[in-house]
């Protein structure tokens, strides 16, 4: 396994591998940038085919966190942890306690929280050994906790902005939205869409999750292999990354793609393919920033629920701005968002360098 020539490597500041076999813990923390502040991003607990795949995931996700935090105007850089789930049984409490000790050794350069496969309970185990953890409900001030409902709200606002850009209206009543993945975020997104009067098509490999959306939101089920090509106005990827690629993009019927999943584009070229097909793509890390806004607020004294909801609702305005700039300059929205995020990070680096001189 190489690091500097690994897919996803983007001049990351640091990559930490950790191994604690007694706790069944093996994983990677990638710190992409601390130019804007400590690297902040969730911890993914997932089964990887090999450690090279885990490294690529950590590298790409941590870069995404740098861009996400920059565009969400948060005083944080980007980082991400991946823990490789093994085949055998594991004491999950002991595993996350050991992970908490690892996070503590980084002295605050990286702050962790939930991501796919991790829960509030896991973060409570982490918190026994480090204060550099968020996503745990607090008694005083802004409550915080599970970021998923707040993420879903941001995705909903971003989706409306993308619909306005593509269809000239952000009224989703009567529109058909195909949602892939009805987990923590997908479920709350379906709830908001149902309330807004949208028709829902849903797909989840976990049938319990799919059934819940069918019974609560009158959603219609679609098999996993058909959800991308389903007859819908909007496609919302809310499972895992890489679903938009050279094979799947030509099959899309939806004219808007707006969902929660990180790294939806398999490669940079896929952003260009979407634009060429006349599909409006709401960049994933722009519209799924609600969760990080929420967990960051847990660490901000004086933060309020109203303040967090206001910041999350601004995701809609920001998405609209990126989409118009992208259209004006004939650049795919994914590239426009990257460019704007890189400018913010570069400016912070210049300011720091000037202060140090
Ligand atoms: P989750 O694990 O709760 O839900 C994911 C769901 O997708 C599960 O129900 C799973 O069964 C389903 N799934 C997996 N593969 C599938 C497939 N091929 N077809 C259909 N369904 C499939 O995760 P989550 O917290 O809801 O996060 C979803 C996505 O959003 C992830 O990519 C995550 O990184 C991203 N995200 C989440 C948050 C958050 O606050 N939870 C914040 C930002 C981004």
Q: How far is the CA of 262 from the centre of ligand 1 (A)?
A: 9
Task: Check pocket membership of 284 for ligand 1, CB cut-off 6 A.
Answer: no
Strands 280-281 and 256-257 turn out to be: parallel
Task: Check pocket membership of 207 for ligand 1, CB cut-off 6 A.
Answer: no
User: pLDDT, tens digit, for every residue of 237-256?
Assistant: 999 899 999 999 999 999 99
Catalytic residues: 80
Supply the residue whose CA is at minimum distance from atom 15 of ligand 1: 239
**Phi then psi for 18, rounded to 5 degrees?**
-135, 150
Quick one: what percent of the chain has pLDDT higher than 90? 94
Q: For residue 88, what pLDDT is reported?
A: 86
Domain 148-342 belongs in CATH node 3.40.50.2300: no
Task: Check pocket membership of 37 for ligand 1, CB cut-off 6 A.
Answer: no
91 CA to centre of own chain? 27
Only one residue has tokens 């920059």, namely: 70
| Residues across the chain | 357
Q: What is the location of CATH 3.40.50.10860 in the chain?
A: 7-58+79-127
Q: Is the pLDDT of residue 30 over 90?
A: yes
Q: How far is the CA of 317 from the centre of ligand 1 (A)?
A: 25
Query: Smallest Cα–Cα separation from 200: which of 216, 173, 180, 179?
Result: 179
Q: What is the location of CATH 3.40.50.720 in the chain?
A: 148-342
Contacts of 324 (CB under 8 A, 6+ apart): 165
Fold category of 7-58+79-127 in CATH: Rossmann fold (3.40.50)
User: pLDDT, tens digit, for every residue of 256-282?
Assistant: 999 999 999 999 899 999 999 999 999
Give pairs for 321-330: CB < 8 Å, separation 24+: 322/283, 322/286, 323/161, 323/162, 323/165, 323/280, 323/282, 324/165, 326/275, 327/165
Q: Is the pLDDT of residue 352 over 80?
A: no
CB atoms within 10 A of CB 355: 7
Q: For residue 78, what pLDDT is reported?
A: 98
User: pLDDT, tens digit, for every residue of 310-327?
Assistant: 999 999 999 999 999 999
Q: Are 185 and 148 in contact (CB under 8 A)?
A: yes
Q: How far is the CA of 240 from the centre of ligand 1 (A)?
A: 6
Q: How confident is the model at residue 1 (pLDDT cuts 50, 70, 90)?
A: low
Q: How far is the CA of 118 from the centre of ligand 1 (A)?
A: 11
CB atoms within 10 A of CB 310: 11
Q: Are 147 and 135 in contact (CB under 8 A)?
A: yes
Ligand 1 test: best mutation among 181, 182, 258, most atoms within 8 Å of CB? 181
Strand-pairing partners, residue 220, are 201
Q: What is the average pLDDT value for the chain, to the nearest integer?
A: 96
Predicted TM-score (pTM) of this structure: 0.94
Q: Is the pLDDT of residue 353 over 80?
A: no
Q: Is the pLDDT of residue 121 over 80?
A: yes
Q: How far is CA 89 from CA 50, 85, 86, 141, in A?
A: 18, 10, 8, 38
User: pLDDT, tens digit, for every residue of 186-234?
Assistant: 999 999 999 999 999 999 999 999 999 999 999 999 999 999 999 999 9
């Amino acid at each position: 396994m190489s690091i500097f020539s690994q897919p996803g490597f983007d001049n990351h500041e640091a990559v930490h591998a950790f191994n604690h076999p007694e706790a069944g813990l093996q994983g990677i923390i990638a710190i992409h940038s601390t130019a804007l502040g400590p690297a902040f991003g969730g911890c993914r607990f997932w089964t990887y085919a090999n450690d090279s795949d885990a490294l690529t995931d950590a590298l790409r996700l941590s870069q995404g966190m740098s861009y996400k935090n920059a565009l969400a105007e948060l005083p944080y850089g980007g980082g991400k942890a991946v823990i490789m789930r093994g085949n055998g049984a594991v004491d999950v409490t002991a595993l996350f306690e050991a992970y908490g000790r690892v996070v503590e050794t980084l002295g605050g350069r990286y702050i962790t929280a939930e991501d796919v496969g991790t829960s509030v309970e896991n973060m409570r185990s982490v918190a026994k050994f480090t204060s550099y953890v968020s996503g745990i409900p607090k008694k005083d001030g802004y409550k915080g906790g599970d970021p998923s409902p707040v993420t879903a709200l941001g995705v909903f606002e971003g989706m409306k902005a993308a619909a306005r850009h593509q269809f000239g209206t952000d009224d989703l009543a009567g529109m058909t939205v195909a949602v892939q993945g009805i987990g923590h975020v997908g479920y709350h997104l379906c709830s908001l869409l149902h309330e807004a009067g949208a028709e829902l098509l849903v797909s989840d490999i976990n049938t319990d999750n799919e059934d819940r959306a069918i019974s609560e939101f009158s959603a219609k089920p679609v098999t996993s292999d058909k959800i991308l090509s389903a007859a819908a106005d909007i496609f919302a990827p809310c499972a895992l990354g890489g679903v938009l690629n050279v094979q799947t993009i030509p099959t899309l019927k939806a004219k808007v793609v707006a969902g929660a999943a990180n790294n939806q584009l398999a490669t940079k070229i896929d952003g260009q393919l979407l634009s060429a097909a006349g599909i409006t793509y709401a960049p994933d890390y722009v519209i799924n920033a609600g969760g990080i806004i929420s967990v960051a607020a847990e660490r901000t004294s004086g933060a309020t629920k109203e303040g967090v909801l206001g910041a999350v609702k601004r995701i809609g305005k920001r998405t609209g701005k990126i989409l118009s700039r992208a259209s004006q300059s004939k650049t795919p929205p994914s590239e426009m968002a990257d460019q704007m995020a890189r400018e913010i990070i570069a400016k912070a680096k210049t300011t720091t360098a000037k202060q140090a001189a």
